Amino acid sequence: MFSSIVDQNLTPEKLANLKYYKYNAVDKSLLSRYLLRHYWDWASDFFPKSMAPNLITLTGFMFILFNVALAWYLAPTLDIDEDPPRWIYLSYAAGIWLYSTFDNVDGRQARRTNSSSPLGELFDHGCDALNTIFSSVIQAGALGSGHSRATVLLCLIEAFGFYLSTQEEYHTGVLYLGYVNAPTEGIVLALVVFTISGIFGPAIWRTPVGHIIPYLPPPIASMSFSHGWIALVGSFLVTTHVPLCFYAMYKACRKQGKPFLSTVTAECVPIAVYCSAVYAWCMSPHSFILSHHYLVPYFVAIGIVFGRMASKIILAHLTRSAFPKFTILLVPLVLGAVVVNLPNIPGIPELLTPQFELTYIYCLLIFATVVYLRWAVAVINAFCSYLGIRCFTITTKKPQSKAN
């Protein structure tokens, strides 16, 4: 069913727009320009030219999946009271660094093997979208923020930021990374956090900020470093990322003759629904997600939902299609949020048990995984068939592409 839907949406007219594809990215990061790019150039020499760029991307993403699996098995409460082995946090550090390395090497591999394609951008950003929520699991574990409002907010902050960046690229055609950005400075800071947790333990992040930094206002001084970190990420989102994204979209809409306010507002409906549903579900007094430590499977499930949302925007950008404002995966997410917030309806109180909610979360996870994978495979096959390429291998001689 899902393959046929994809086939109907990816019409020959839309696929023909792939011939206009040109990867455009601007990275203003001084850390990338003066330091990390030399490391990425050096690291790219370790990959054989026979290795497809998408395979490098997927391999890098496997490190994140491995770390999430470790957290799920060894530290599912994401709390310092659990006291998991400290090497797990060093594993997080290694995983996020390797993911970042592979994520930056894949583009270099594509250029040196002359295998750049719109599929590569879709595959790369698709993995990045999934990692957005998955990485919240290991960040929360390293910070020891546990099953709390702060952990939920960290997840939603990162989701909203990535969504806006993807929305901006849809309008401008350029992936813009500022002087301080999440894929560079954010990764390095996360690496530092994981390493410190691995050496001293995550309990160190419970230290009040005022114990280390003097002369701060009382509300900030009494805040733990873990909450301070999340507040810093949120402040960066609100004061720099959001205004810059909206300004870039404003200029693009003016250039294209589109009404800015109505256009962008309508396009933000999916992420507004997503964030509202996640927050309302987790914060409901009738939900057991926080009290019974269900956040890890829940984050994995909603991470797949978010990955589908963001990937559909990239697909629309590449095929020059209308902005996607709906995904079927939002339905069970919103339904779950509604059910746990309507306990007065006859029959609902008896239904809302820890076992029922956990079962529903796993059903959401399975449903989201099946829908996402079938959709992804169908899209990849459509791209490969149209462009005459393969996803995980490099052909020595490309067939004549229909896009040429």
**Residue 112 to residue 108: CA distance in whole angstroms:** 6
Per-residue tokens: 202:
């995550």
Check residue 75 and report its DSSP letter. Answer: -
Residue 208, phi then psi, degrees to nearest 5: -60, 140
- Specify whether the CB–CB gap between 166 and 314 falls below 8 A: yes
Contact between 389 and 15 under an 8 Å Cβ cutoff? The reply is no
Q: CA-CA distance, 102 to 88, in Å (whole number)?
A: 21
**Residue 116 phi/psi, 5° resolution?**
-65, 140
Active site residue 241: no
Which of 125, 227, 241, 317 is the catalytic position?
A: 125
| Cβ neighbours around 205 below 10 Å, total | 21
Q: What is the dihedral of CA 330, 331, 336, 339, to 10 degrees?
A: 140
Q: In whole angstroms, what is the distance from residue 38 CA to residue 251 CA?
A: 34
The SS3 assignment for 285 reads coil
Give one DSSP letter per residue of 264-282, joined into a string. HHHHTHHHHHHHHHHHHHH
Among 153, 144, 137, which residue's Cα sits nearest to residue 226?
A: 144
Q: For 289-299, give one letter per residue: b (16+ CB within 10 A) or e.
A: bbeebbbbbbb
Catalytic residues: 125
